[in-house]
């Protein structure tokens, strides 16, 4: 990959609102660019979390939550539950900001993990999410996760590293360590259990996605019914 010139680095820093002193080297400019980006990400995260605090507080009472949605020009029906309205408002809030490493996944079996933790522990799941989003079968939370994932892959590619972490193979057991009368072709109890656990986990995650999809469809159906009733009254 072609190296970035000092002049190009100066332009990047200028685009971030700062002018590099003439005495600065390329390494100094790079360090300042990285520091500014980190500061801006922290500010974005703080702002987003502050909005989420306001939302959580409003969600304690349905009327307060309705007032918040109305203030932010977010559409809702009087029959909407707090959960539906909260989810809709959270989507609006998070879409204002770039996805951050420390955001919670918020759905499926990995709901309690951050984006970064998920990437470090289950890269294959992120690839599956990316495929699901590409097929148009994902909710907004998965779409946001995949958006973050693509940003990370772009960063890694620019640094010259492979897009997918290398697979670390487990050394084969020696002949003395093998259990008697067990051939290499026979799967161990651990591998069978692990495979079954993985299947169960994926099935649970798929069921969760289907449930969320059904909830969205139900929400859209209810909205259509409300619009039809309003139209009938006017007629």
Percent of the chain predicted with pLDDT > 90? 39
**Percent with pLDDT over 70 in the chain:** 69
Q: What is the DSSP letter of 21?
A: -
- Could you list the residue range(s) of the whole structural domain that residue 115 is in? 100-159
Between 223 and 17, the higher pLDDT residue: 17
Is residue 62 within 8 A of residue 86, CB to CB? The reply is no
Q: What angle do CA 136, 204, 48 make, to 5 degrees?
A: 60
**pLDDT tens figures, 85-129:** 999 999 999 999 899 898 999 999 999 999 999 999 999 999 999
Residue 228 lies in a domain: no
Entry pTM: 0.54
Closest CA to 152 of 99, 230, 212, 217: 99
Distance of CA 127 to the CA centre of its chain: 12
pLDDT confidence of residue 4: 80
The number of CA neighbours under 13 Å toward the Cβ of 74 is 19
In a domain, 23, yes or no: no
Would you say residue 132 lies in a domain?
yes
> Do the domain assignments include residue 120?
yes
What SS3 class is residue 127?
helix
Can you list the pairs that 118-127 forms with residues at least 24 positions away whose Cβ atoms lie under 8 Å?
118/145, 119/149, 119/152, 123/164, 123/165, 125/205, 127/164
Q: Is residue 15 part of a domain?
A: no
Domain count, the chain: 1
19 located within any domain: no
| Confidence band for 39, pLDDT divided at 50, 70 and 90 | confident
Whether 46 is in a domain gets the answer: no
**62-75 tens-digit pLDDT:** 999 999 999 999 99
Residue 186 lies in a domain: no
């Amino acid at each position: 990959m072609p190296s970035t010139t000092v002049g190009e680095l100066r332009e990047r820093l200028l685009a971030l609102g700062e002018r590099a002193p003439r005495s600065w080297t390329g390494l100094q400019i790079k360090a300042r660019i990285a520091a500014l980006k980190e500061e801006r990400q922290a500010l974005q995260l703080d702002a987003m979390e502050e909005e989420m605090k306001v939302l959580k507080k409003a969600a304690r009472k349905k009327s307060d939550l309705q007032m918040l949605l109305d203030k932010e020009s977010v559409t809702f029906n009087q029959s909407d539950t707090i959960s539906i309205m909260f989810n809709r408002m959270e989507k609006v809030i998070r879409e204002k900001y770039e996805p951050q490493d420390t955001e919670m996944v918020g759905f499926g079996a990995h709901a309690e993990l951050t984006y970064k933790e998920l990437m470090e522990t289950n890269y294959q799941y992120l690839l599956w999410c990316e495929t699901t989003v590409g097929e148009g079968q994902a909710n907004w939370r998965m779409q946001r996760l995949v958006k973050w994932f693509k940003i990370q892959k772009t960063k890694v590619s620019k640094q010259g590293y492979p897009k997918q972490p290398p697979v670390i193979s487990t050394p084969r057991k020696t002949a003395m360590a093998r259990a008697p009368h067990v051939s290499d072709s026979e799967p161990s109890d651990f591998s069978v259990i692990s495979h079954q656990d993985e299947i169960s986990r994926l099935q649970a995650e798929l069921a969760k996605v289907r449930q969320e999809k059904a909830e969205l469809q139900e929400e859209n159906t209810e909205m259509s019914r409300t619009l039809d009733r309003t139209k009938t009254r006017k007629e």
